[in-house]
């Protein structure tokens, strides 16, 4: 397995992928955190979907990672795209046959690929966190936000919880990306399906028939990081997403193990 991870890391660390992804993630997080702090007190809102986030709230232990939390969904979409493309490209480039000749244990290929992409996602999340923290401290004075609670044990605990939940959310989106990549065997189809579903179809469904939100995978993944917008519990989302991902991952893993590699 360690050989597979090492090989996959070589592919993931190529500058065009690594630097551009990390730059996008860092800039996006900094931008959202900047807008939240800069527009404090703006009657048109400064938070997610126009909600008003006050300086008082930002001064709580949760204030430090507010900007980090609101980009969790976008981080998830980035992870979905990367996991999907890195998986499906093996089919479109025809490189899967090389991988399987050098490592015929298909589950090791799948496992090693997954672990390496999770490591990539961890780096992405940590950079996003750092970017959010730096921007929050930089603008706290301008926004009259009191930072004293951020470094308390409650603040650190809130940060640890937030990092854990964002990592979980990003991993869920990434896993779904990998599942789509294995299913469609084409990066474009896999990414398009994932993005259209999570960004458009789920929002329409949840908006038109609100009761469906409780059962939609994307809504439940988002609930792991931003529970205040949802009527269903964190535990419900955790269990439901776990079931969805376990079942779909098992199906594609069996397909990957048994399917002929004919391209």
Partner 1 sequence: MAISVTDLTKVYGERTALSHATFSVPLGTVCGFVGPNGSGKTTTIRMLLGLISPTGGTGTVLGHNISHPEKYLPKVGAMIEGPAFYPALSGRENLRVLASLGGFDQAVVDPLLERVGLGDRGGSKFKTYSLGMKQRLGIAAALLPSPRLLVLDEPTNGLDPNGIHEVRSLIKDLAEGGTSVFVSSHLLSELEMIAEHLVMLRQGKVIFNGKTADLLSAQQPVLIARPEYSVDLPKLIEIVKASGHELTSHDGAAHILSPADWGAALNRLAFEAGITLASLTSVLPTLEETFFEMTGDSE
Residues that bind partner 1 (CB under 8 A): 3-4, 6-7, 10-11, 14, 16-17, 89, 93-95, 97-105, 258, 260-262
Answer for the pair 11, 112: CB distance below 8 angstroms, yes or no: no
**Is the CB of residue 247 less than 8 Å from the CB of residue 83?**
no
Q: How far is the CB of 5 from partner 1 (least distance, A)?
A: 9
Residues 6+ away with beta carbon under 8 Å from 178: 83, 84, 86, 87, 113, 114, 117
Token readout for 65 is: 């990672």
| Of residues 96 and 180, the one with the C-beta less far from partner 1 | 96
What gap in Å lies between CA 254 and CA 248, rounded to an integer? 10
How far is it between the farthest Cα atoms of the chain? 62
Measured from the CB atom, the residue of 95 and 152 that comes closer to partner 1 is 95
CA-to-CA distance for 217 and 197, rounded, in angstroms? 10
Q: Which of residues 18 and 126 has its CB atom nearest to partner 1 in the complex? A: 18
Least separation in angstroms between residue 248's CB and partner 1 is 24
- Opening angle at CA 30, ends 63 and 33, nearest 5: 30
CB of 1 to partner 1, least distance (A): 11
Least distance from partner 1 to the Cβ atom of residue 187, Å: 13
CB of 104 to partner 1, least distance (A): 4
Considering the complex, state which of residue 116 and residue 162 has its C-beta at the smaller distance from partner 1.
Answer: 116
- 90 vs 241, which CB is nearer to partner 1? 90
How many whole angstroms separate alpha carbon 256 and alpha carbon 132? 39
Q: Which is nearer to partner 1, 6 or 56 (CB)?
A: 6
Phi/psi region, residue 52 (left: phi>0; alpha: psi -120 to 50; beta: rest), is: beta
Residue 101: CB minimum distance to partner 1, A: 5
């Amino acid at each position: 397995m360690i050989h597979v991870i090492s090989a996959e890391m070589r592919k993931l660390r190529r500058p065009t992928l690594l630097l551009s992804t990390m730059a996008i993630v860092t800039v996006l997080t900094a931008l959202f955190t900047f807008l939240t702090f800069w527009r404090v007190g703006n009657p048109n809102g400064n938070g997610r979907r126009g909600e008003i986030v006050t300086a008082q709230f930002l001064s709580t232990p949760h204030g430090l990672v507010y900007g980090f939390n609101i980009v969790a969904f976008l981080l998830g979409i980035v992870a979905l795209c990367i996991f999907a493309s890195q998986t499906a490209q093996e089919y479109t480039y025809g490189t899967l046959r090389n991988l399987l000749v050098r490592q015929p244990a298909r589950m090791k290929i799948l496992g090693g690929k997954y672990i390496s992409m999770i490591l990539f996602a961890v780096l992405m999340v940590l950079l996003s966190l750092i970017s959010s923290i730096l921007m929050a401290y930089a603008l706290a004075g301008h926004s009259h936000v009191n930072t004293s609670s951020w470094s308390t044990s409650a603040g650190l605990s809130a940060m640890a919880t937030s990092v854990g939940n964002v990592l979980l959310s990003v991993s869920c989106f990434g896993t779904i990306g990998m599942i789509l990549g294995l299913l469609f065997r084409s990066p474009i189809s896999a990414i398009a399906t994932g993005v259209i579903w999570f960004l458009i179809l789920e929002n329409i469904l949840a908006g038109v028939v609100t009761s469906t939100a409780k059962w939609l995978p994307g809504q439940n993944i988002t609930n792991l990081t931003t529970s205040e917008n949802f009527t269903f519990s964190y535990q419900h989302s955790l269990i439901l997403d776990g079931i969805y991902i376990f079942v779909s991952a098992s199906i594609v893993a069996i397909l990957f193990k048994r399917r002929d590699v004919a391209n």
